Amino acid sequence: MKKSVLAALVLGTTLALTACDQAKEQTSQKVEEAKASVAKAQDAVADAAKDVKDATVEKAKEMKDATVAKAEELKQAASEKAAEAKEAAVEAKDAAAAKAEELKQAASEKAAEAKEAAVEAKDAAAAKMEELKQSASEKAAEAKEAAVEAKDAAAAKMEELKQSASEKAAETKEAAVETKDAAAEKAAEVRDAAAEKVSQAADAVSEKAQEVKEEAAK
């Protein structure tokens, strides 16, 4: 609307100037008409400005009301969310406290079980140590007895070997004497046989020499 008024104002002014150029004699009349047109245009501009102002004020009021309503709505929603968050925090706190108590109870029970198991393990270890100690004592006694028996057996065996060695030495000595005597006898026999063989050979040689001599004499 403001543009239309301004366009009308410009058009009126243009017509007034044109009229002045075409007919100077009608200047006064045209000036009056132009003044009237300007006044009319000014009134139209004022009316248009008032309309724009009223519309702007109304729109601003509507926007203000809408903003206030939206702010109230957001405030209400924020209040509700805060209440929900507070309630959730309380519930989480209670749940955490309950869970902590549950864990504390479970830890106490586990500690008691572990203590009982430790006592049982200690008793079992003590019993096992006593059993091993008793077994070791018995094994030591058996080993000692076996050592004594082995020592006695070794002494008896040594005495037996000593006696056997003494007997073997006597037998060996006797056999050596017998061997020596037999060797002496055998040597005498061989010597006598050799002497006889030599004598027989000498006799044979003498006989052969005599025969050769007799043959040569013939």
DSSP the chain: -HHHHHHHHHHHHHHHHHHHHH-GGGHHHHHHHHHHHHHHHHHHHHHHHHHHHHHHHHHHHHHHHHHHHHHHHHHHHHHHHHHHHHHHHHHHHHHHHHHHHHHHHHHHHHHHHHHHHHHHHHHHHHHHHHHHHHHHHHHHHHHHHHHHHHHHHHHHHHHHHHHHHHHHHHHHHHHHHHHHHHHHHHHHHHHHHHHHHHHHHHHHHHHHHHHHHHHHH-
Same domain, 126 and 33: yes
Confidence grade of residue 118 (pLDDT, cut at 50, 70, 90): confident
Where among 97, 116, 131 does a domain terminate?
Answer: 131
Average pLDDT over residues 41-65: 72
Residue 185 domain flag:
yes
| Across 136-145, 167-176, 206-215, least confident range | 206-215
Contact between 9 and 48 under an 8 Å Cβ cutoff? The reply is no
Same domain, residue pair 38 and 125: yes
Q: Is residue 112 part of a domain?
A: yes
196 pLDDT above the threshold of 60:
yes
In terms of Cα–Cα distance, which of 37, 35, 31, 32 is closest to 8? 37
Domain boundary among 76, 97, 131: 131
What pLDDT sits at residue 26? 61
Instruction: Specify whether 116 is located in the same domain as 192.
Output: no
Going by pLDDT thresholds of 50, 70 and 90, the confidence category of residue 2 is: very low
Is residue 111 assigned to a domain? yes
pLDDT (tens digit per residue) in 12-43: 555 555 554 555 556 566 667 766 666 676 77
| 84 located within any domain | yes
* Within a domain: 81: yes
Q: Is-contact 12 41, C-beta < 8 A?
A: yes
Tokens read off for 166: 């003494």
> Looking at the structure, do residues 38 and 119 belong to the same domain, yes or no?
yes
**129 or 11, greater pLDDT:** 129
Same domain, residue pair 126 and 182: no
* Residue 209, Cβ density class (10 Å: 0-12 exposed, 13-18 middle, ≥19 buried): exposed
Weakest-pLDDT range from 87-91, 125-129, 130-134, 164-168: 164-168
- 50 within some domain: yes
pLDDT tens by residue, 174-183: 877 788 877 7
Q: For residue 198, give its domain range.
A: 178-217
Q: Final residue of a domain: which of 100, 131, 162? A: 131
Shared-domain flag, residues 111 and 182: no
Q: What is the pLDDT of residue 29?
A: 67
Crossing angle of the two packed helices 27-217 and 2-22, in degrees rounded to 10: 130
In a domain, 3, yes or no: no
- Split into its structural domains, the chain has a count of 2
Q: What is the pLDDT of residue 13?
A: 53
21 vs 94, residue with greater confidence: 94
Q: For residue 113, is it within any domain? A: yes
Assess contact for 52 and 3: CB atoms under 8 A.
no
**Region for 23 from its dihedrals, namely left if φ exceeds 0, alpha if ψ lies in -120 to 50, beta otherwise:** beta
Residues 185 and 125 in one domain: no
Q: Find the distance separating the first CA and the last CA of the chain, reported in whole Å.
A: 208
pTM exceeding 0.75: no
